[in-house]
Structure formats: structure tokens, C-alpha cells
Chain A
Amino acid sequence: MRRFIEARMRKRLRLAFLVLAVLFAALLAKLFHVQVIRNAELTEKAMENWDRELPFAGKRGEILDRNGNRIIGNRIAPTLYFMPSQNRDIAAAAKTLAPLIDADPKKLEEQMSKRASIIKLAPEGKNIPYETAVRIGKMGIPGLYTGVDYVRDYPYGQMLSRLVGFTGYDNQGLAGIEFAYDGKLTGKGEKVRLFTDAKGNPLPHVGDGWVEGGGGADVELTIDVRIQEIVERELEQAMLKYDAAQALSIVMDPDTGEILALASSPNFDPAEYASVDPSIFNRNLPVWMTFEPGSTFKIITLAAALEEGKVNLEEDHFHDPGYALVEGARLRCWKREGHGSQSFLEVVENSCNPGFIELGQRVGKEKLMQYIHDFGFGQTTGSGIAGEASGILFSEEAFGPVEHATTSFGQGISVTPIQQVQAVAAAVNGGRIMKPYVVRRVLDPETGRPIEENTPEEKRRVISEETSKKVRESLESVVANGSGRNAFVDGLRVAGKTGTAQKVEDGRYKEGDYIVSFIGFAPADDPDVLVYVAVDSPKNEVQFGGTISAPIVGRILGDIASVREIGPRKGQLEREYRWGDPIQIRVPDLTGKTYDEIRQMLYTVKLEWHGKQGGTVVRQLPEPGVLMEESGTLHLYAEPEQKD
């Protein structure tokens, strides 16, 4: 009996031990499974678990002007993140935080209670002011972190807004350069990888890692902000003065095709794009708008006629009765009574329509059409500016004698401002069509070295050097003697051409509604800049390019001259005096002269003497050689009075 019990107990003991051995074997197997077989999977999960990654928004590339001035930069605007597992009293945290970021406490608490390791407190906690972030940081709310984030900063405010565009909620480019270069501008985004304990305290023995990202590339434009400022100021003033619908301007270097300024008025605030009418921010007027060029187009007809040797401007004469008859159609000159008998140079100066019909006819239908195409009309310029239009020309079949005639003086076709600038630049730069462009370089944000570079691109030659020279000279005389007189700037040798185009609506001309334009360049002997200005629907003034746009271009060129250091030029055509023009005199050098001597020389000018009575002049304003109006004041500075 006892033996039986003993034997049974030992048997059972072996059974129990066997079971235990199996259990231990299972432990080893499971341990192997977890540590070896699932090693990679669990390592990845553990990495996520340990990482307290604070997204560190990639700095978007900046948009710079040609001299490195920041047109669009970035402003630090932190974003709040919350780790719910690190806060025991989320309700209290939400209550404290809500008023600081203008959030609803209830909703915020809901958001903060989400089951996630890290929550972005958007939208209220996104891009908060830096000062607010600092204040919140000092409160030490457990589990609340401030991630570095940026928003766009506009040091020049609304300047260039239609060209550069804007970015959206997540800093993504939505319009303009911001959109076109979004891929390059976008930063890759960095992350601060914090090795912390589960509460977020940094661990002493593991250094914080950085997940390297990198900022986006900078985009350097061909724009010169100094010129852009001048142009935008002038457009704004014109908008006010003439109560215009809109206005636009292009400034280009005619030798390279670089756009130095590109302006549309009105502008908009890129930071508040959501409240702006899309028809404003989607339309970059200098490339988007198409309209009849009017007389500025005559430059093309002129260039073609000169190149083809069909006219001698000084020798050939033309009689303008005030109209031309083409196939029974009576095409009027803008001057009702006609310009009478004139040389072809005077035809250009007067912008005489029948004269240009004659020139167009001399060139011939096909040839003229060919020139128009060669000058780049009818197709986009390839400037790369978003929303560029190609304009409308007559098709070959529709191009009859009447169309041929009207096209010769810029009517019946539709072109964009940038096409006109491209064409006129070629007409005056020696005959080369240069592709206009606005982006000069794309720069690596770290090294500042260019990743991408645009260089001047000559598309083709359209006219010869000599023809171009003749075009320049005749356009200088337009400013000195003709319809462009209001663009005259003394010493700068401004040349140019007016344009007045009646607006077309539903295929019909709108009575009394014009786009008045002027295209000018300086200096006429070696053009450095080309300025185009168009004002849409000006009121309060005779609607002519010569009266509205020419003076704007004159002022712009005058101011650009000091920016680009275009010195006084010799050999300018003196402006012809016309009745009603203020009488101007060229101020002589008065240094060393006494008041009485000067009074005798310049008896019509008002003199103002500064300094010692009875002394001699050491300085004068205006300076010697400058034109001043006879009714103006001449300031004379004597050496200062001696103090006894």
C-alpha cells in the first residue's frame, strides 16, 4: 500500500515536472519569437514610441530681388503640440490655454483628449505670435510643446503681389511665383527628435537627434525693388488722379530681356488673399491682359519699312488729308483735319495713321504679317510668368487690305503688354528678340550657390543694327518734337511712342473708354531701360497716351536714371517749344558771381539768396546745365557769414 502510494506520487511528480518543463520551453520559444523573430517590427515601433518628434517646419525659400533684397521672407510663428499621455488634468490645461489662443475651451479639451501620442493644436494653436508662444511656454503646462513654424513675411507689403502670389494654410504656394516654384521653395521640414523619458524630460545619456531636413531654395528675381517701388508709386498716383479702372507697367532691360519691374494696380495683400477677388490675384495684367496696342504698334510697321528699305524718313514726304481710302473704306487719322504735307519722320512724330497705312502698304501684306510674327506677336513670349496670354492676330485668310491697313497703325489686333515690350525692345536694342524673364536664379539655401540659372536668351534677329538705330532716332524725335513730348526728361535722351486704344467690348468699340499707353526707353543712343505703362479707363483728362502715360513714363525713367546711374547724355534732341509749354532755360554756371551780376544775366527767374549778403555763389540749385522753368526759383548759396 505504502509502496503503491509512493510509486504513484513519484509518477505524478514526474508529470508535474514535465508540465513545468514544457511551460519553461514555451517561455524560451516565446522569448525567441519576440526578441529575434519580431525584432525588426518591434524596433520600429519602439523608435516611434521613444521619439518625441516635434515637427520643425521647413523654412520656405525666400524670394529675392536682383540685388538680394528680400521681397518675401519668413516670420517665426510657432505651432502648439500636445502629448496627452503627459498631462493628468487635460481639462484644466485646456481651460488655461484656451483664452490665450482664442479657442473654445470645450472644443480644445476634446481635441487635447484625443488618443494620440502627439496632437497638433490646429487651427487655433497654429502659427501663433511668437510672444504668445513664449508666454505659454513659461506657464509650463505638462505635455504642451511649441514647434517651430513659419509664416510668410512681406517686408514690402503688397509690392509685386500679382507676380509673386501667395501661400496657403500649410505654407504651400497657391499663386504666382510661389506656385510656379513651389517645389523648389518648399523646405523638406526638419524634426527635432528628442530622446526623452516618457514624460518628455531629456535623457542625460542620449543626445537629442536631429532629423535633417533643410530649407527650401531661394528664388532670385530679375526685379529691382527700387525700380518696382518707383513704378508702383507712379501707377498708384495715376489710379487716383485719373480714377482709372486699372493700370500696369513693365520695365525691362532691352539688351537682356530681364524684367526689372512688373506692376499691376490695384495690388492686394498676399497675407489676406482669402478676402481678395480672384480676378485680382489671378490676373497678372502685364502678361494676362490683351488689347489693341494702338499707336505703339506703329514701331513695328516703322521697323519693317526701314528694314525693307521702303522709306527714307527725311527725304520721303507724305500728304495726310485726315483719312485714307482703302477698298472704299475711309480710315480716319486721329487728327480730323489731317496733318497735311509732312516728311515720314514727321509722320512718326505725329503718329499719323494714313502715313502708317502707306508704310504698311509699301512693306506689303505678307511681309508685314511675317514681321509681326517675327516680332513675337500671336504667341506667348515664354517668360514663364503664370497666366500669360498669346493675343489674337488676323488669320491669313481674313487678312484683307483693310485689315492690312488697320494693323499697320495698331488696330484690329489684340496683343499683351509683354509682347509689345519684347517687340519694341528688339526694335531698339539692335534687332534681337530677347526672351523676357523674371526669375534670375534659384539659390541653394545653405551655400547660396545657384542651382538653376536663367541667362539672356536671344530668340532671333528681326532687323539690322542700322535699322534699329534709325528706329531709336525717330522715336527720340517723337519725344522731342512729337506726340511723346510729355515723356521728355532733360539729359536722359528719352525716346518712345504713345498708344491710345479704344476698348473693345463684345466685338464693338466702346465709346469714350480707352487704354492709354506709352512705351519709352532711355537713353536713345544706347537703351538701358525700356518702360511700358498703360492706364485702363482713365477719367478726368483727355484720354491720350501722350497726356496720361507719357509723363508717367518720363517720371519713371527720370527716377530709374538715378537708380541705374544713367548719367546725363550728350547729343540729345532739344525739345521743341510749343505754345503753352512752360518756357525753360538752361541754368548757367553761376559760381563766383555776385547777386547783381546774376540778376543782370537772368532777369526773368526768381532768385533766392542764402548766406552772406554781398558774397559770391559757391553752390546753386538747380545745378549748372539743368533745364528749369522760367517761372521757377533759383537758389543761390554764398559762403557762410563769418562769425566775429
Chain B
Amino acid sequence: MHALEKKLLILFASAAAALSLLGVAFVHSAGSYWGEVHYEDSLPFALKQGVYLAVSLAAAAFVLRFRGIGNKTFWNTVYILSIILLVGVLIPGIGAVRNGSQSWIALGPFSLQPAEFTKIAVIGKLASMLGEQRGRKVFKLSHLAVILLPAGLIMLQPDFGSMMIMTVSAFCVLLIAGYPLKFFFGLGAAGAAGITALIAAAPYRLDRIKAFLDPWSDPLGSGFQGIQSLLAVGPAGLLGYGYGQSRQKYLYLPEPQNDFIFSIIAEEIGFIGSAAVILLFFVLTAAAFGLAARQRDPFSLQMVSGMAAMLGFQTFLNIGVVTGLLPVTGVTLPFISYGGSSLLAAWIAAALILRFGAGGGKG
């Protein structure tokens, strides 16, 4: 193994580990009050997050050792399995509704969010398909079908954020694979049309856009989360209030340990601290892209860059929402947000980057 490659692997793994530990710390700070008030009888979020982290690391270890990981049929199976779960989540009795979206499957005391794993399945499936690509022409309708089928199913829940992450990272895979740029311009136009259609179909999304443009037009309604997030981030200034000193976490910002955890991070450690966290994410992504660039085998390159794009874009989407750069969309922050599915998915993605980045994917 090349020395640089090794350094990149270590850098990536350290960044992921650091973000995970940061995650546990801030789940503790952000979520303890909310947890006390809303889930009195439950274990503290931070403790559960620690357990989820252990489970995630075990899963990652499994991914790093699993023999059939480079097998095309394995990714087919994973893909089909995730489609089945996406269908299952829509069936009443199996799927559970939270915050207006039917996105969870309850498994005893735990619940699973199939969309989190669909992202991985779709990228893995696409990477394995494109790894066999031999001709100059890469465009295949089946690629699009692989993306659009789960995208449609996720929108039935509906979970716009997950759909966006999955679709964007999947198309990123196609971009890297060499899809003509014209295709992406066309796609951009189609995407705009699609988003317009989605907004037309569900008026609450229009409210979110309006709230995004002027959150203070409806401070208690559609602008609420955006405003409460800005009220956490903005007053913190350069240095923040210090760890544990957030005010917005006291029920002002709903579910602060979850999608809006970065608000609390920005509030407690200020611009300097939270910019450092963003840079850590950037290091993570850059290391992954560096590893991708070093792959000779297209499957590995696609896999590593696809996962990297997914983690990077999800990070952008989440922090973009928190800082008011983007309209409010429910997306978790990889490695950091509270939640088993999110953390598990992030670590599976990380493990895949490490496995394929080390050139062990095809083994």
C-alpha cells in the first residue's frame, strides 16, 4: 500500500471517529433537557448514542471483513432488500409515522429508518453496475431506474431530505462515471420541474420555501424551526457560550439533539468551533475523495467517491438548513445527530470508504 494512501485512510478514520465522539458529547448537551422533559422514563440520549456508536462500529468492522462485499449479486441483494423495506415502511402496521412522515419500521424497542440504508444500497448497486462498464458510452436507462424507483418510494413516506441525498449522491456517481454533461444540464432542468411539481403536490413545502425566504413572516408556523435555529447560531458570535451553555436547547428549538444539533454546536462553541467542525467534515470528505482518486478499479472508485459525495452532500444539506442557507429539510448530520439509523448508515458508508479505499473491495 502506498504511504499517502495509508495516511489518507488514517486521516479519514480519525475524522470519522472524532466526529462520532463529538456527536456523543453534543447529543448529551443538546438533548438532555429535551429528553428529560419528553422521554422521562427513557435512558439519556447520550448513553443510547454511545450504544448506537458501539453497534455502528461493530457493523463497520463487519463491513471491513465481509468477504462478499465486492460481489455484484451481494449489492443486488442489498438493493432489493432495501426496496422491500421501503415498501414495507409504507404498510400500516409495519411502518410508523413520526413528524408526519411514515419513515420508520419498529423493531421491538428500536426503530429503523430504511431510507438511511437505501442511500448506501443505491450507491453500492450503481457502483457495482458501473464497475463493469467497458464501452465509451455509459448511459443506461437501468441506472436511472435504479435511482428513481427508491426515490419515488421515499417520496411516498414522504422524506424529501433523504430522497435528495440519495438522488444527488447517485447522480454524482453517474457524473464521475462519465455521463455526458448535457445530461446533467437536462437533469437540472428536470429537477427544477420535479421540485416544482413536488411543491405543488404538498403545499407545506411551499410554506417551507416561503419560510426560508422570510422566516419572520410566520414565526410560530412554518418559519419556526428556521428562526429558532438562527436564534441559536446567531447570538453565539465568535466564541459561543461554552459547552453546555446553550439556551435554545431548552425547548425553544425542537428536537435539538437531532436534525438541528449543529445549531446547538454553533451556539455553544461559536463560529470558531463550528467552523472547525465544518472543516473536519471537509477533511473527511477530501480524504475520501483522495482515496477515490487513487483507485485503479472503477468499482472501487465509484464506491468510495459515491459514499464520500453522500456524506459530503448530507453534511452540506444539514448545515445549510441550520444556517439558513437552505430551506428547512429534515436531514441528519452524519456521525453527529442522535439516532441509530443515521449513525449506523454513516459508519457503514465510512467502512465502505475504508474497505474500498484500501483496495480491499474486490477481494
Asked if A34 contacts B316 (CB within 8 A), the reply is no
* Chain A residues whose C-beta falls within 8 Å of the C-beta of B33 in the assembled complex: 197
* Chain A residues whose C-beta falls within 8 Å of the C-beta of B251 in the assembled complex: 197-199
Answer yes or no: A122 CB below 8 A from chain B CBs. Answer: no
Q: How far is the CB of B325 from chain A (nearest CB, A)?
A: 4
Q: Interface size bucket, B side? A: 35 or more
Residues of B239-280 whose CB lies within 8 A of A = 247-248, 250-252, 266, 270-271, 274-275, 278
Q: A12-B178, A45-B231, A49-B252 are in contact. Are A31 and B316 (CB under 8 A)?
A: no
Residue of B178, B298, B309 touching A20 (CB-CB under 8 A): B309
* Chain B residues whose C-beta falls within 8 Å of the C-beta of A24 in the assembled complex: 278, 281-282, 285, 312, 315-316
* Chain B residues whose C-beta falls within 8 Å of the C-beta of A5 in the assembled complex: 133, 136, 178, 298
Asked if A30 contacts B235 (CB within 8 A), the reply is no
Asked if A85 contacts B231 (CB within 8 A), the reply is no
Answer yes or no: B330 CB below 8 A from chain A CBs. Answer: no
* Chain A residues whose C-beta falls within 8 Å of the C-beta of B230 in the assembled complex: 34, 38, 42
Residues of B313-350 whose CB lies within 8 A of A = 313, 315-316, 319-320, 323-325
Complex formed: what's the CA distance from A42 to B220 in Å?
17
Asked if A34 contacts B234 (CB within 8 A), the reply is yes
Residue of B237, B247, B315 touching A36 (CB-CB under 8 A): B237
Residue of B133, B235, B323 touching A27 (CB-CB under 8 A): B323
Complex formed: what's the CA distance from A35 to B289 in Å?
30
Complex formed: what's the CA distance from A81 to B308 in Å?
53
Asked if A203 contacts B250 (CB within 8 A), the reply is yes
Answer yes or no: B126 CB below 8 A from chain A CBs. Answer: no
Q: A16-B175, A197-B33 are in contact. Are A38 and B275 (CB under 8 A)?
A: no
Q: Which residue of A lies closest to B218 (CB)?
A: A115
Q: How far is the CB of B253 from chain A (nearest CB, A)?
A: 9
Answer yes or no: A15 CB below 8 A from chain B CBs. Answer: yes
| B-contact 0/1 string along A191-206, CB 8 Å cutoff | 0000111110001001
Complex formed: what's the CA distance from A12 to B289 in Å?
11
* Chain B residues whose C-beta falls within 8 Å of the C-beta of A506 in the assembled complex: none
Q: How far is the CB of A512 from chain B (nearest CB, A)?
A: 73
Chain B contact residues, majority secondary structure: helix
Answer yes or no: A39 CB below 8 A from chain B CBs. Answer: yes
Asked if B237 contacts A35 (CB within 8 A), the reply is yes
| A-contact 0/1 string along B129-144, CB 8 Å cutoff | 0000110100000000
Answer yes or no: A21 CB below 8 A from chain B CBs. Answer: yes
* Chain A residues whose C-beta falls within 8 Å of the C-beta of B211 in the assembled complex: none
Asked if B252 contacts A13 (CB within 8 A), the reply is no
Q: A9-B301, A34-B230, A36-B271 are in contact. Are A17 and B250 (CB under 8 A)?
A: no
Residues of B162-207 whose CB lies within 8 A of A = 172, 175-178
Residue of B178, B282, B292, B315 touching A21 (CB-CB under 8 A): B282
Residue of A32, A45, A49, A84 touching B271 (CB-CB under 8 A): A32
* Chain A residues whose C-beta falls within 8 Å of the C-beta of B51 in the assembled complex: none
Asked if B266 contacts A20 (CB within 8 A), the reply is no
* Chain B residues whose C-beta falls within 8 Å of the C-beta of A203 in the assembled complex: 250
* Chain B residues whose C-beta falls within 8 Å of the C-beta of A35 in the assembled complex: 233-234, 236-238, 266, 270-271, 274
Asked if A9 contacts B177 (CB within 8 A), the reply is yes
| A-contact 0/1 string along B200-229, CB 8 Å cutoff | 000000000000000000001100000110
Asked if A34 contacts B237 (CB within 8 A), the reply is no
| B-contact 0/1 string along A31-53, CB 8 Å cutoff | 11111101101110110011000
Asked if A30 contacts B178 (CB within 8 A), the reply is no
3 closest residue pairs by CB, A with B: A42-B234, A197-B250, A198-B251
17 contacts between A and B (CB under 8 A): A5-B178, A5-B298, A6-B296, A8-B178, A17-B285, A26-B325, A27-B319, A27-B325, A30-B320, A30-B325, A35-B233, A38-B230, A42-B230, A45-B231, A50-B247, A115-B221, A197-B33
